[in-house]
Amino acid sequence: GVGPSLIRLAAPGFRFRFHPEFRLRSLLRRRRMAAAAGTARQAGAAPRVGLLYDQRMLAHAPAGKKEKETPERLRAIWRKLAAEGVTSRCVGMRAKVAKEKYIASVHARKHVDLIRKISSKDSSDLKKTAKKFDSVYFSKGSSESAFLAAGSVIEVAEKVAAGELSSAIALVRPPGHHAEHSKPMGFCLFNNVAIAANYLLNERPDLGINKILIVDWDVHHGNGTQNMFYSDPRVLFFSVHRYDYGRFYPYEADASHVFIGDETGRGYNINVPWEHAKCGDADYVAAWDHVLLPVAEAFDPDIILLSAGFDAARGDHMGDCCITPNGYALLLTKLLGFAKGRIVMALEGGYNPESIANSVCACAKVLLGDKFTLNSPEMQPFESTWRVIQMVRDELKTYWPVLSSKLPENVSLRSTPSY
């Protein structure tokens, strides 16, 4: 069997006891991460991290108190970043309205027209229209906020792709990854990340972005993003989410691991579907080390777009998972070794103001090059996590031979939580 081994990762001062799959791959990954970090900091320069925040996106607001997706989410993040001195260290950016032609590249014209006109309706019509869709609300500020959110992710992605920024964070709302081609869904009006990905691939060939890795760590499956690139081998879509055998939102079978893409895109859609709540740092690290990172190495993306939902964070009762702020920091650190560290974080879910603020702050500090230490009480993944990872690897090994090898044996695992 493979015993535990102490691995020092790229984040200075960080140590985490875990079971690596391949010592050599771990070594090569660390060297690549160090090289990327060196490139970003050459000549002693600090990384240029873009931070986009615009109060106009607070105008999308629910009429009642029962909604979870509220303006307070952004306010809490901004207060935390300001208090920690992060805002002054980043390159501040203001939102831009997306052009309709870019939104229409992934959404039906009827859908674009609906969102553009929705805020002109009176309150009764807003409620009536919202009831036609799954888990959305509309307000007088919804139209502008949606166009700003989409435009913001385009803006930061363009600047990172062009090398003007090392990486960037787009604090946007409403979120986007549930929005389908023809309908809003799950708090999402436009699919912000999908719009930005399509823009880079099809509108700006001069930037040299030919392959995009989209990582969706929101606790819910990124159904909209999956469907938009399901047959496109230029986009590797990876979503790790609660599935609960189809009993967790969005309650759709295509969040299963057997949905791997279609036509020339087969193998480029990867779902890691957790079977229950309470997954934490060790479970996500296992998914990274044994699925995402080996495939990302082979895919070799030109940029990474991160659908950064934080509803799998400890304290967020909607997701009921247990990722710590520094757990998110570690997941992000592991991605910095790819695409020369060019990462765009676009906010998705996350509904506990304290949890989302602490998690975003930890990620921002990673992009800025700060040290962090992981102190996680759950140092072993669940038995179910190991089983899911094996199923995912078996489903994909034909397309990604790097997944054909055996997982480590004699790994210390936790039993499935009881309810």
Task: Kindly tell me the burial class for residue 418, based on how many C-beta atoms sit within 10 Å of its own C-beta (0-12, 13-18, 19 or more).
Answer: exposed
* Residue carrying the six token digits 């060790």: 282
Token pair belonging to 52: 């986009």
Token pair belonging to 346: 């676009």
Q: Are 333 and 371 in contact (CB under 8 A)?
A: no
What is the distance between the alpha carbons of residues 157 and 71, in angstroms, rounded to a whole number?
Answer: 23
- Catalytically active residues, by annotation: 178
Question: Which CA distances in Å does 308 have to 23, 140, 263?
Answer: 29, 26, 28
Residues 382, 332, 362, 191, CA torsion sign: negative
Token pair belonging to 257: 């691991």
What is the distance between the alpha carbons of residues 57 and 157, in angstroms, rounded to a whole number?
Answer: 18
Token pair belonging to 213: 């890795």
- Long-range (24+ apart) CB contacts under 8 A made by 399-405 are 399/260, 399/266, 399/267, 399/268, 400/267, 400/294, 400/295, 400/298, 402/294, 402/295, 402/297, 402/298, 403/291, 403/294, 403/295, 405/21, 405/22
